[in-house]
Amino acid sequence: MEKLYEKALEAYNNSYSPYSKFKVGASILLKDGNIINGCNVENASYGLSNCAERTTLFTAYTKGYRKEDIEKMLVIGDSDRPVSPCGACRQVLVELMNLDCQVILTNLNKEYKTLTVDELLPYSFNNEDL
Protein backbone atom coordinates (compact mmCIF):
# COMPACT_ATOMS: atom_id res chain seq x y z
CA MET A 1 0.00 0.00 0.00
CA GLU A 2 2.83 2.40 0.84
CA LYS A 3 4.50 1.89 -2.56
CA LEU A 4 1.18 2.50 -4.33
CA TYR A 5 0.71 5.68 -2.29
CA GLU A 6 4.25 6.88 -3.10
CA LYS A 7 3.77 6.34 -6.84
CA ALA A 8 0.42 8.18 -6.79
CA LEU A 9 2.04 11.02 -4.83
CA GLU A 10 4.84 11.17 -7.41
CA ALA A 11 2.22 11.50 -10.15
CA TYR A 12 0.32 14.07 -8.04
CA ASN A 13 3.48 16.19 -7.97
CA ASN A 14 3.68 16.00 -11.78
CA SER A 15 0.13 17.29 -12.23
CA TYR A 16 -0.41 20.03 -14.79
CA SER A 17 -3.28 21.94 -13.17
CA PRO A 18 -2.72 25.68 -13.69
CA TYR A 19 -6.45 26.44 -13.94
CA SER A 20 -8.10 24.51 -11.12
CA LYS A 21 -4.97 24.37 -8.93
CA PHE A 22 -6.32 20.94 -7.88
CA LYS A 23 -3.65 18.29 -8.32
CA VAL A 24 -4.62 14.62 -8.50
CA GLY A 25 -2.43 11.55 -8.86
CA ALA A 26 -3.33 7.91 -9.35
CA SER A 27 -1.53 4.60 -9.43
CA ILE A 28 -2.54 1.09 -10.46
CA LEU A 29 -1.07 -2.07 -8.99
CA LEU A 30 -0.97 -4.76 -11.63
CA LYS A 31 -1.08 -8.47 -10.88
CA ASP A 32 2.45 -8.86 -12.25
CA GLY A 33 3.70 -6.45 -9.55
CA ASN A 34 4.23 -3.45 -11.82
CA ILE A 35 2.77 -0.08 -10.88
CA ILE A 36 1.57 2.48 -13.41
CA ASN A 37 0.79 6.02 -12.37
CA GLY A 38 -0.65 9.17 -13.90
CA CYS A 39 -1.81 12.66 -13.07
CA ASN A 40 -4.44 15.12 -14.17
CA VAL A 41 -3.50 17.26 -17.16
CA GLU A 42 -5.57 20.38 -17.73
CA ASN A 43 -6.16 22.50 -20.79
CA ALA A 44 -7.45 26.06 -21.21
CA SER A 45 -10.40 24.44 -22.97
CA TYR A 46 -11.56 22.59 -19.84
CA GLY A 47 -13.34 19.81 -21.72
CA LEU A 48 -9.99 18.73 -23.17
CA SER A 49 -8.51 18.11 -19.72
CA ASN A 50 -7.84 14.58 -18.52
CA CYS A 51 -8.18 13.30 -14.97
CA ALA A 52 -5.50 11.26 -13.21
CA GLU A 53 -7.64 8.11 -13.09
CA ARG A 54 -8.18 8.10 -16.84
CA THR A 55 -4.56 9.03 -17.59
CA THR A 56 -3.42 6.06 -15.50
CA LEU A 57 -5.87 3.58 -17.01
CA PHE A 58 -5.19 4.75 -20.56
CA THR A 59 -1.45 4.37 -19.94
CA ALA A 60 -1.97 0.81 -18.66
CA TYR A 61 -4.03 -0.08 -21.73
CA THR A 62 -1.44 1.54 -24.00
CA LYS A 63 1.16 -0.78 -22.46
CA GLY A 64 -1.02 -3.82 -23.28
CA TYR A 65 -2.60 -4.41 -19.87
CA ARG A 66 -6.31 -5.13 -19.58
CA LYS A 67 -8.90 -5.20 -16.79
CA GLU A 68 -7.97 -8.72 -15.70
CA ASP A 69 -4.39 -7.52 -15.08
CA ILE A 70 -5.40 -4.78 -12.63
CA GLU A 71 -5.36 -5.57 -8.92
CA LYS A 72 -6.25 -2.14 -7.46
CA MET A 73 -6.09 1.60 -7.99
CA LEU A 74 -5.16 4.37 -5.55
CA VAL A 75 -6.19 8.00 -6.11
CA ILE A 76 -4.77 10.96 -4.15
CA GLY A 77 -5.73 14.61 -3.98
CA ASP A 78 -5.29 17.56 -1.64
CA SER A 79 -8.74 17.42 -0.08
CA ASP A 80 -10.23 17.46 3.41
CA ARG A 81 -11.47 13.90 2.98
CA PRO A 82 -10.30 11.11 0.67
CA VAL A 83 -10.61 12.42 -2.89
CA SER A 84 -13.49 11.14 -5.01
CA PRO A 85 -13.37 10.38 -8.75
CA CYS A 86 -15.60 12.43 -11.04
CA GLY A 87 -18.52 10.86 -12.87
CA ALA A 88 -16.63 10.52 -16.15
CA CYS A 89 -13.81 8.65 -14.43
CA ARG A 90 -16.27 6.38 -12.66
CA GLN A 91 -17.77 5.43 -16.02
CA VAL A 92 -14.32 4.71 -17.47
CA LEU A 93 -13.41 2.60 -14.42
CA VAL A 94 -16.56 0.52 -14.98
CA GLU A 95 -15.47 -0.33 -18.50
CA LEU A 96 -11.70 -0.70 -18.02
CA MET A 97 -11.57 -2.40 -14.59
CA ASN A 98 -13.34 -5.37 -13.04
CA LEU A 99 -16.36 -4.33 -10.98
CA ASP A 100 -14.95 -6.00 -7.84
CA CYS A 101 -11.58 -4.26 -8.17
CA GLN A 102 -10.61 -2.06 -5.21
CA VAL A 103 -10.27 1.70 -5.63
CA ILE A 104 -8.48 3.30 -2.69
CA LEU A 105 -9.28 6.97 -2.22
CA THR A 106 -6.93 9.07 -0.10
CA ASN A 107 -5.58 12.55 0.57
CA LEU A 108 -2.28 14.09 1.66
CA ASN A 109 -3.14 13.24 5.28
CA LYS A 110 -3.27 9.54 4.38
CA GLU A 111 -6.96 9.18 5.23
CA TYR A 112 -8.26 6.21 3.25
CA LYS A 113 -11.61 5.04 1.92
CA THR A 114 -11.71 1.81 -0.07
CA LEU A 115 -14.55 0.97 -2.43
CA THR A 116 -15.04 -1.37 -5.34
CA VAL A 117 -15.61 -0.04 -8.84
CA ASP A 118 -19.20 -1.26 -8.57
CA GLU A 119 -19.70 0.66 -5.31
CA LEU A 120 -18.38 3.83 -6.96
CA LEU A 121 -20.95 3.60 -9.76
CA PRO A 122 -23.85 1.28 -8.97
CA TYR A 123 -26.32 0.52 -11.76
CA SER A 124 -23.77 1.64 -14.32
CA PHE A 125 -24.25 1.99 -18.05
CA ASN A 126 -22.27 -0.71 -19.84
CA ASN A 127 -22.01 -2.65 -23.09
CA GLU A 128 -25.09 -4.68 -22.22
CA ASP A 129 -27.11 -1.44 -22.43
CA LEU A 130 -26.14 -0.83 -26.08
Q: Would you name the residues annotated as active-site residues?
A: 53
Positive or negative, the CA dihedral 56, 18, 14, 114 is negative
What three-state secondary structure class fits 108?
Answer: coil
Query: Residue 129, class by beta-carbon neighbours within 10 Å (0-12 exposed, 13-18 middle, 19+ buried)?
Result: exposed
> Running DSSP on this structure, what letter comes out for residue 102?
E
